[in-house]
Amino acid sequence: MTPSRRRVSFSILRRSSASLASQNEIAAPAAPSVDGVDGDGEYAGSVLDISRRWEGQNCADAADCGEGSYAKVNWHGDDLYLFAHVIDDVQSAAATPERCFGHWLVDSVEFLVDPRGNAVDTSTTFKMGVFPFSDDPTGAAGNGVNGPCWTRDADNHQGFSSGPLADTVPNAPNAPGVEVATNAVLNEDGVWDGGSYTIEMKVPLDVLPAAAGPTSEPPTGDSSSNVVDPTYVGLNITPYDSDTQNFVGQTRLAWSPFGSQQSEPYRWGHAYLDGYEPPADRPTTPRDAIIPDSALLGVESPQTVYQSATNGVTISGLDPTRAMDVSGATLGETAVDVRLDSAETGTARLFLWSGQHGYIPVFESSCPGDYDGFTACDPSDGAPPPWGELLPARADQGGGGWVRWVRCVRWNLSTLDSGRGIRHTGAAVGGAPWQSWKTVAYREHRAGSFGMCERQRRMGAPATPSLCLRDGTRANNEGAS
């Protein structure tokens, strides 16, 4: 059987059902207490094995790979309850509440729900990454000392869901009513108490992008009685493991371990909500995804631009613009001259870097020679590189004022001489079209200083003064080149 056809399924029961196996029966319906404890009778349905490795490094031993990890799921009223017990030995790095993202880089559990069971990508799903602890010694985020934090990732309404940045998400909050509890304690020796941790979460079903269910009767194992083309809720629960202190993920586990579990909801398991009926007025069509413009802008990623330029595949599959033409680029000893011709307003982004074209540092590191950023030599190491800023040149990277990479120079085409001369909808405004040059000085500075100059002129007109940026300050420079 091919991986695309493998299925794992179970029933999420609220009431007993004589037609199902006894391990799936719940006799006394009650809402579980969200306290991080698998209380007696709270989750009496199926026990899900979440110790199957689907990606990452081979495990050192059974404990390292979470052997014995399990999850349980229940529903009550209009809420979904999820419980995960994760076997682990070594604790990962602790993220600050402001860095509660990228859960796959640390010890964490992701809960993934596709309410309609037919998603082709994760924009119509609910995906919540839960960090069992954080670097929050004062409890400022409101979840206790070094308490948990949680964030929706790459789903229908992604962004921070807890802590100080939750209100900054567009159309916040993105997870109203979600409750999280854990028994995790961040220890100085970096070892998990009892060799495990738990996470319990309550998710109001109206937070999901669309109505969940009603679902079909679950498969019986008998083709003569199975429902053909059943309706179900897509579900997966995926623990992530890291034994490092530099935010490098190592092993990824899952209940349904087939394919790429972060991005392929059609490979998630099937859950059947026995007896649940969503409110009649709850839409069955998923809400439009709310994706912040600040998240994953391909045009501001030098690796993405490089990949698109070399393989011919447009960024995010969007139609390419035909309004701008790059008719020349010259790399000199102290500057780069780029000639652009644009028929429309917009933003041009210029990238300049040395080293590997498709790769930049992953994290900041003060360790000598660690360009990749995979080693921590100082408590401040491990932060994302300062996108949009210069990484200071160091002796081990060539010295002499060279920079390893520069992210981006933005050039707002709509502001060229207040926009005059740029053609709109094919009609020239103010006469002849514009030719524009950008000069980027890249090798004339020291000690992390970086200079960037712009100049533009109308065809047949004298060049305007260059606009230069040096160390983040702006100044007009008549004689700049």
pLDDT per position as a tens digit, 327-371: 777 777 666 677 777 777 777 777 666 556 655 666 777 888 776
Residues 349 and 268 in one domain: no
Residues 314 and 258 in one domain: no
- Asked if the structure places residue 279 within a domain, the reply is no
The pLDDT, as a whole number, for residue 295 is: 57
Residues 136 and 248 in one domain: yes
CA angle (265 as vertex; 250, 166 as ends), nearest 5: 70
The pLDDT, as a whole number, for residue 391 is: 38
Question: In the chain, how many domains are there?
Answer: 2
State the Cα–Cα distance between residues 351 and 410, nearest whole angstrom: 9
Domain that holds residue 352: 298-477
State the Cα–Cα distance between residues 363 and 365, nearest whole angstrom: 6
**Cα distances (angstroms) measured from residue 209 to each of 121, 129, 248, 270, 276:** 13, 17, 31, 17, 17
With bands split at pLDDT 50, 70 and 90, how would you rate the model's confidence at 423?
very low
Quick one: average pLDDT of 104-125? 96
Segment among 74-88, 334-348, 412-426 with least mean pLDDT = 412-426
Residues 305 and 266 in one domain: no
pLDDT of 412 above 60:
no
- Asked if the structure places residue 172 within a domain, the reply is yes
Residues 258 and 380 in one domain: no
The residue ranking higher by pLDDT, 309 or 79, is 79
Longest dimension (CA), the chain: 87
State the Cα–Cα distance between residues 481 and 475, nearest whole angstrom: 14
Tell me what percent of the residues of the chain surpass a pLDDT of 70.
68
Residues 249 and 314 in one domain: no
The pLDDT, as a whole number, for residue 138 is: 96
pTM above 0.75, yes or no: no
Quick one: average pLDDT of 238-256? 92
Segment among 250-264, 265-279, 282-296 with least mean pLDDT = 282-296
Rg (CA), the chain: 27
Residues 109 and 213 in one domain: yes
Q: What is the pLDDT of residues 440-481, one digit of tens each?
A: 333 322 222 223 333 332 233 333 323 222 222 222 222 222
pLDDT of 410 above 70:
no
Residues 116 and 265 in one domain: yes
Domain end call among 241, 259, 274: 274
The pLDDT, as a whole number, for residue 434 is: 35
Half-sphere exposure of 469 (CA within 13 A, CB side): 13
Domain end call among 274, 308, 343: 274
